[in-house]
Each structure stands twice: as C-alpha cells, then as structure tokens.
Amino acid sequence: MLQERINALLKRLTPRPKPLLGLDISSSAVKIVELSQTASGFQVEHYVTELLPRDAVTDGNLADLDVVSEAVKRAWRRLGSRTKGAAMALPASAVITRKVVMPAAGNEEELEIQVESEANQYIPFTLEEVNLDFQVLGDAPDGADGEVEVLIAASRKDRVEDRVAAAQAAGLKVQVMDVDAYANQTAVELIQRRLPGGGRKQVLSLVDIGASTLRVTMYHEGAQVYLREQQVGGNTLTASIAQHYSISSEEAETAKRQGNLPESYLPEILQPFRESIALEIARAHQFFFTSTPFSHVDHVILAGGCASLPGLEEAVSARTQVNTFIANPFARMTLAPGIKARQLAADAPGLLTACGLALRSFDA
C-alpha cells in the first residue's frame, strides 16, 4: 500500500511532456492535430484542416511557399490553441534511408564520424547539402560481436527549410522533423491495438488515397515490409467530373466536396473510379505476394482524403476479399468540449499523418 502511494506521488511530480502540434502539409491541405495525455489514454484537444489551392504543393515540394505559409497561419488561428511547438514530416520520397551495419562506437561522436563516412556511399549529394540523422536499431542482425545496425536518414536541406519556414511564418517552432511514412505507422499502431489479438502476427495493408497518389504500405509485427505507389487519387476523380460535365477543375472540386452533383455522377463517374481504386489495391497485393515471403493480407485500412467515398470500403473488400475498414486513430480517445465525434470520425482518415506527428509529444 505504501509503495502504491509513493508511485502515485511520483507520477504526480513527474513533469508531463509538453504537447506538440502535429502539423501535416499534404498536397491538398494543411492539417493540425493537438493531443493531450490522460490517465486512460489520449484526448483530442484541437484539430483543423485548411484547404490549399491546387498546385501549391506538388510532388511533396512547397511550390508556392507564401501561399502555404498563409494557409498554416489561418489553420493555427482557427485551431484555437496556445501551443507553439510543432512536429512536421517530410514525404518519404524526399528522404533517403539506409540500414547499415557498422562497428559499435565507444561514444556518440565516434558514431557520428562513422555514419558520415557511410552516408557518403549512399547519398547523391554532398553532406553540406543535406540534413543527416541516424538511429541505432540494435545489435547487427547476423549476431556479429561488436557490430550494430544503424538507420541513416538524409534529406536535402531546402526541403526541410521550406517546411520550417512555413511553420515559422505562423509563429510556430518546429521541434521534430519526421517522415510521413513513420508518422503514419505510429498512428496505425493505435488502430492495430483494437484488432483481434492486438493485430499480432497479422499483415496490415494501409491504403492512403491522397489527392494525387495512392500509396499501399504493408506492415507486419510493427515493421514496414512493402510499399507501392500509383499516380492516382482525388485529383483523378476531379478531372473526370470536370471533363464529364464540361466545368472547370475548381468548380468540379467544389461540387465534389459539397456533394452538389447530378444523379448521373454515381453510376457514370464515382462507381468506375472506386472500382479502379479497388483494382489498383488488389494489384498491389498481388505484387506484394510475388515479391515477398507473404501470401495473405489480414486487414485493409483505408486512409487519405478519398477513403470515405461512398461505397469504396465495400468495393475494396469485394475486390480483395479482405476485411476492410476506414482509418480512425481517434476512436478510443476522449474529446475536448467543442469537438464533434461524428465530424471527427468523418475527417479522421485524412488526419492519420497529423495524428502520428502529434503523438511525438509523448515519446519517451
């Protein structure tokens, strides 16, 4: 009993981690999520989505930094938070990662020297042009004495600096720069815990359908084991609407978001689009089976702005013959006053990266 009281007192005396805003700049929107930690888990304090003009972000690059910066400012004002620290992410395409085995170093400085030497072999830029980071993953996989496995990550400085500048324009301080794929994985782990058996020994297929890219990522036992990308997404659907009804892309996008389209939209445009998406996912699974030791998928998790399209969940399940559901990492979180559960559930598939980034507040 005494020890329990001491533990409770120590817990109250331990400083809580300062929250970080999960700030995700995607090709179509700025998204911010703020979480807090409670005795029972996490609470959603604030979240917001601020749409971006078309082509403000292209191929992961902030093509119009001023426009993106203004969008971040508007998003932060709408968020209604006092938190200024932020965690951001680079697109995986902007980051070079390599796992290497090297001799265990005596100290951090010696390890940094070894990493820089190794990085020169894999990075097609000079070290002065990149931001370089590394993490020791553990002992070498082959069990060799005195060797460790190290993950090296590098990105061109301009890619990092643009995102930092966009956040700073809103008065935010970037304290973490992650990779979107890793942020997604963090959020997926929350979803995985709700699966039968906690999702252990199961293969999860995360299908992120954004504005311009469909990305299928396979996870097994907490590790990414496969990735495939296709250039198809929400913009493809918008273009089909614009062409079919002879309207501008801007008008088509607005009509799509507002659901203000003729009855012919469902059979003539939406149904063929969702069938094509389901087919691409099934093909990705087949490539996964032929290029890895795996032969099945246990669950398909739909994420991204297109995940909630009417009938898509059912179309993917029918095509792949795999249990399919829409991502919601917030499902077991409590909600701060003013946050509507139904609206958050509808927005959740597009907030996966922002949620994963917000969870960086609570890293040990």
pLDDT score recorded for residue 153 = 82
Alpha carbon distance 53, 253 (integer Å): 11
pLDDT score recorded for residue 16 = 52
Mean pLDDT by 10 residues, the chain (364 residues): 45 57 94 92 95 88 94 95 93 82 75 77 78 79 74 85 94 92 92 89 94 92 90 92 92 86 92 96 97 96 93 96 96 93 94 96 72
E-strand stretches of 140-222: 147-156, 173-179, 203-209, 214-220
Residue 14, φ and ψ in degrees, nearest 5: -75, 125
Structural tokens at position 65: 């930094």
List where CATH 3.30.1490.300 sits in the chain. 94-157
pLDDT score recorded for residue 297 = 96
Structural tokens at position 15: 């400083």
Structural tokens at position 239: 């273009």
List where CATH 3.30.420.40 sits in the chain. 198-327
CATH classification number, 94-157, choose in 3.20.20.80, 3.30.420.10, 3.30.1490.300, 3.30.70.141: 3.30.1490.300
pLDDT score recorded for residue 15 = 46
Residue 168, φ and ψ in degrees, nearest 5: -65, -30
For 214-271, give the DSSP string: EEEEEEETTEEEEEEEES-SHHHHHHHHHHHHT--HHHHHHHHHHT---TTHIIIIIH
pLDDT score recorded for residue 114 = 78
Alpha carbon distance 15, 13 (integer Å): 6
pLDDT score recorded for residue 12 = 42
Residue 118, φ and ψ in degrees, nearest 5: -65, -40
Structural tokens at position 281: 């996912």
Length of the chain: 364
For 284-325, give the DSSP string: HHHHHHHHSS----SEEEEESTTTTSTTHHHHHHHHHTSEEE
pLDDT score recorded for residue 148 = 81
CATH classification number, 198-327, choose in 3.30.1300.10, 3.30.420.40, 2.170.270.10, 2.40.170.20: 3.30.420.40
Alpha carbon distance 326, 300 (integer Å): 8
Taking alpha carbons only, the member of 83, 80, 52 closest to residue 67 is 52
pLDDT score recorded for residue 150 = 80
